[in-house]
Amino acid sequence: MMSWNPSVSWQIHPKFQALVAALEADIEAGRLVRGQRLPTHRALSRQLGLAASTITKAFAEATRRGLVVSEVGRGTYVLEFPETQAVQGSEIGGQLIDLGVNTVTVQPLNDMLNRVFGMLARRRSLHHLLEYHPVPGILRQRMAGAKWMGLRGLSPHPSQVLVCNGAQEALMAALATVTRPGDTVLTESLNYAGIRRFTDLFRLDVAGIPTDVHGMIPDELLKAARGRTISAILCSPTLHNPTNAVMPLARRRTLLDIAARLGTCVIENDSYGHLSGDPTPTMTALDPGRCIYICSTSKSIAPGLRIGFVRAPAELMAKLSQGVHGTSWTSPSLMGEIAALLIETGMAETFLKWHREEAIERTRLAQQVLGLATGVDADVAVPSYHVWLPLPAPWRAIDFTAQVRARGTIVSPAEYFAMDRKPAPHAVRISLGGVHDRARLIEGLEAVAYVLRSRPQAAHAAV
């Protein structure tokens, strides 16, 4: 399809920029779709009464911004060539609506990203960012990490901040630092699935601690610790994944007291803390000498910005650096520079503000479509990009997930997050941030609501 009738605001100057703005607006509104072929330069020149050179400049600028792709002899296409669209149009990438991956949308923030990359491009020398930089990272980026942690009530010296490839590498380095094979790590009974991979890799025993609406239950923590060598308590007190629990101050203090009695450290995973904006002091702020603090940019700025920041007691920094050095050899300097620029210029906080507002609106959409309590009060006081949905009887999570998928939507059953062999609850996590188009998100939520209203059908026949 080559027809395109742009509505151009000629108040924008120069004219080629007005045409680029019209192109971007039509892509945003869905009037132009991925893989759609645009008219030729000559055809648009006749249609709009513009010089061919103006059309050429507009398409060159649109290509630079990543709005279109062009190739001599083939033409210009919106965002991607048709064969790329065909590959992405497979079951996962196209037909299915993926509410399983917990990510965030960033397309409306594209202009700010362009400014950041423009700032980098104007530097006379970038090659040093592609050279090896020793862990724990470039000082300027460690200072940016300290500033980022300042939004969570911490004020670490940059010497206590380590830059790494996302929270996942940070968790891996923390476990490698404080554990030995055979030790036990205590964590929430449901948690980020990658933790199981780390504990298997390091040959650790992981014990899942039951939780309630306030997070990890202290009495259950003490019970699980009996007769074991506890090397770490790993927890997410703020906006726990997958349940969205936020731990109150009194319980945080209680868990820190238990950690002191056990003589162990606390690894605080605060990956969702910046998004939440929750003012409750972090466990690290309450007891900085006992805690390793981890935060990142992927859940609060952009999912592909894989930068993690670790704050730890000074005596652990050398071992933590060795842990990161053993997995990635060098600090992620180029990605770290992008994160540092966003933080230093204040753009990161603009991202945060937008994400919080967007997360609240998407949660309200989920409440409206599902017609159920989603674990967030009517005011949606704590922003989150995922919903934890306990299933009514007689649903089992495995059957529910299969039937939602049969209706074209992916959600994550509680079993994905189980840390040990104890039975998982009958619940699913629904991620709200990864689908850019809200209409598409609503379509996926309506599939979930339809299955909720239906009777279960066995997902697996007995053999």
Give pLDDT, residue 13. Answer: 81
pLDDT band at 80 (very low <50, low <70, confident <90, very high): low
> What secondary structure, in 3-state letters, does 360-414 show?
HHHHHHHHHHHCCCCCCCCCCCCCCCEEEEECCCCCCHHHHHHHHHHCCEECEEH
Query: Which residue has better confidence, 108 or 353?
Result: 353
- Return the H-helix or E-strand segment holding 335: helix 333-345
pTM of the model: 0.79
pLDDT tens digits for range 348-391: 999 999 999 999 999 999 999 998 544 433 345 689 999 999 99
Please state which CATH number belongs to domain 15-88: 1.10.10.10
The CA–CA distances, whole Å, from 58 to 20, 44, 45, 128 equal: 6, 11, 11, 33
- What superfamily does domain 95-104+349-452 belong to in CATH? Aspartate Aminotransferase, domain 1 (3.90.1150.10)
pLDDT tens digits for range 227-279: 898 999 999 999 999 999 999 999 999 999 999 999 999 999 999 999 999 99
Query: Which residue has better confidence, 322 or 372?
Result: 322
Spell out the domain ranges in the chain. Answer: 15-88, 95-104+349-452, 116-345
Q: Do domains 15-88 and 116-345 have the same CATH topology?
A: no
Q: Which of these CATH numbers, 3.40.50.300, 3.40.720.10, 1.10.3080.10, 3.40.640.10, describes 116-345?
A: 3.40.640.10
Query: Which residue has better confidence, 27 or 315?
Result: 315
pLDDT tops 90 at residue 460: no
